[in-house]
Amino acid sequence: MEVNTTERQVEKVIEAVDAQNKWRKLECINLIASENVMSPLATKLYASDFMHRYAEGDIAHRHYQGGKYVDEVEGLAVELVKRLFNTTFTDLRPLSGSMANLACFKALTEIGGVLFTLSVPCGAHISHQNFGSVGIVGGKVKPYPFDIERMNIDVDATIRQVKKEKPDLLVFGGSVFLFPNPLKELREVADELGIRIMYDAAHVLGLIAGKIFQDPLREGADVVSSSTHKTLPGPQGGLIFTNDEELFERLKTAVFPGIVSNHHCHRIPALCITLLEMQKYGEEYANNIVRNAQKLAGALVERGFKVLAESYGFTQSHQVLLDVSSLGGGRKVAKDLEKANIIVNKNLLPWDPLTSKENPSGIRIGVQEMTRFGMAYNEMDQIAEFMEKILIKGKNPHHKKEEVISFRKDFITPKFCFQNVEI
């Protein structure tokens, strides 16, 4: 009998999606610092007819007919971003944080222009590098001098370096982002030399919205770029905001028609809901995130782990960075934890060469998603204990998996969001 392979393939896709939904959303302790989940309402609104449509161009000045509801929700989203981040101009069309960065690099640098960014081992996002978006626009990256103890840019050494190199752009923020960056401290030298400042807020946007992290525009950034799905628990996407009208015109052109044609309009209603939820619950959520990250870092140190920046309180964000070189390195540790349904990523540490990226010294942990599901101090302790048993006491991670699944059962409903909204 002929097997209906198409039917089987359809079933396999459905099974994979069901399995993903069950495993990653209900059974894992997810500690990936760049992820989060949308609220139930935002999730429902994400799958709408907006996903089938085009709306090239600006609100109310589109190149296609049929966009009146896109205009309506995008107009609201723009107003919400302006209010939440106290800014004048915003573009929500970049499809990701990387694209938002690319638009900023295009608008702020020339071919051959010099940019100061973190190095990747010290925390830069890959788009900040010559091999990433900076390279696409022909820029050249110089790494900031970095203070490993503080896990932050070395201000005095950077001032000296900036005066010598006279870069076009200082880029702050990145993928490892434990502490507020020294924006205020470097604004003066930037002003003296006419250097622009860009702040990549992707990891900390929700903490900025919750007013627990630095406010980049007030501290001297000319433009903020971001994704919309890390500590800000929205749909995957990007945005840019600034108070500089002339710069905004260049940014907008870089976004459309430079980088984006259609901007995947179905993101926007979900983003509206996320922004409304952050307006209402953002401060409480952000406070809980940072408290949990600090608690987890302390609990890990008590159990014998090496956490970076211990003398400086470990972190002021959602992230905790561990040196696991004595436990077999980042790759082994991340894989062992995955066997127990604890999901982290291996990460380069400041002293690692780029060539060690397959097995770097560190792992990076983010607590924003588990905080969203209501985990607090006791749960941070419990997570540290799971990690201790698997990584230090050598217990079989497969045996711990059932305990992790059972632990997760009490934390499956997102908090800090509208509940029971009928649509």
Residue with smaller CB distance to ligand DSN, 41 or 100: 100
Rg of the chain in Å (alpha carbons): 22
Give the contacts of 328 (CB within 8 A, at least 6 positions apart): 336
Of the candidates 365, 370, 377, the one whose C-alpha atom is nearest the C-alpha of residue 299 is 377
Residue with smaller CB distance to ligand DSN, 36 or 294: 36
Dist. CA 12–CA 204, nearest whole Å: 37
Residue with smaller CB distance to ligand DSN, 159 or 176: 176
- Give, as ranges, the residues between 68 and 97 that touch ligand DSN (CB under 6 A): 97
Q: Tokens 């749960």 appear where?
A: 379
CB-based contact 340:395 (threshold 8 Å): no
Residue with smaller CB distance to ligand DSN, 87 or 127: 127
Q: Identify any residues that bridge with 307 across adjacent strands, giving them in sequence order.
A: 322
Tell me whether residue 83 is exposed, middle or buried, using C-beta atoms within 10 angstroms of its C-beta: 0 to 12, 13 to 18, 19 or more.
exposed
Of the candidates 195, 196, 204, 155, the one whose C-alpha atom is nearest the C-alpha of residue 176 is 204
CB-based contact 322:300 (threshold 8 Å): yes
Dist. CA 66–CA 261, nearest whole Å: 16
CB-based contact 275:234 (threshold 8 Å): yes
**Residue 209 Cβ, how far from ligand DSN at the closest point, in Å?**
18
Instruction: Encode burial over 193-222: b for 16+ CB neighbours within 10 A, e otherwise.
Output: eebbbbbbbbbbbbbbbbebbbebbebbbb
- Give, as ranges, the residues between 148 and 207 that touch ligand DSN (CB under 6 A): 175
* Total residues in contact with ligand DSN, by rule CB under 6 A: 4
**Residue 34 Cβ, how far from ligand DSN at the closest point, in Å?**
3
β-bridge pairing 152-153 and 146-147: antiparallel
- Give, as ranges, the residues between 271 and 330 that touch ligand DSN (CB under 6 A): none
Residue with smaller CB distance to ligand DSN, 175 or 288: 175
Is 30 a binding residue for ligand DSN by CB under 6 A? The answer is no
**Residue 127 Cβ, how far from ligand DSN at the closest point, in Å?**
8
Residue with smaller CB distance to ligand DSN, 34 or 109: 34
Of the candidates 133, 192, 182, 184, the one whose C-alpha atom is nearest the C-alpha of residue 162 is 192
**Residue 378 Cβ, how far from ligand DSN at the closest point, in Å?**
27
**Per-residue contact flags (x/-) with ligand DSN for residues 110 to 149, judged by CB under 6 A:** ---------------x------------------------
**Residue 351 Cβ, how far from ligand DSN at the closest point, in Å?**
20
**Residue 74 Cβ, how far from ligand DSN at the closest point, in Å?**
24
Dist. CA 110–CA 250, nearest whole Å: 13
CB-based contact 288:141 (threshold 8 Å): no
Of the candidates 307, 320, 300, 318, the one whose C-alpha atom is nearest the C-alpha of residue 365 is 320
**Residue 342 Cβ, how far from ligand DSN at the closest point, in Å?**
17
Tokens of 97: 């944080």
Residue with smaller CB distance to ligand DSN, 152 or 175: 175
Residue with smaller CB distance to ligand DSN, 99 or 290: 99
**Residue 175 Cβ, how far from ligand DSN at the closest point, in Å?**
3
Residue with smaller CB distance to ligand DSN, 185 or 338: 338
Is 34 a binding residue for ligand DSN by CB under 6 A? The answer is yes
**Residue 421 Cβ, how far from ligand DSN at the closest point, in Å?**
30
Q: Which residues sit at the interface with ligand DSN, rule CB under 6 A?
A: 34, 97, 125, 175
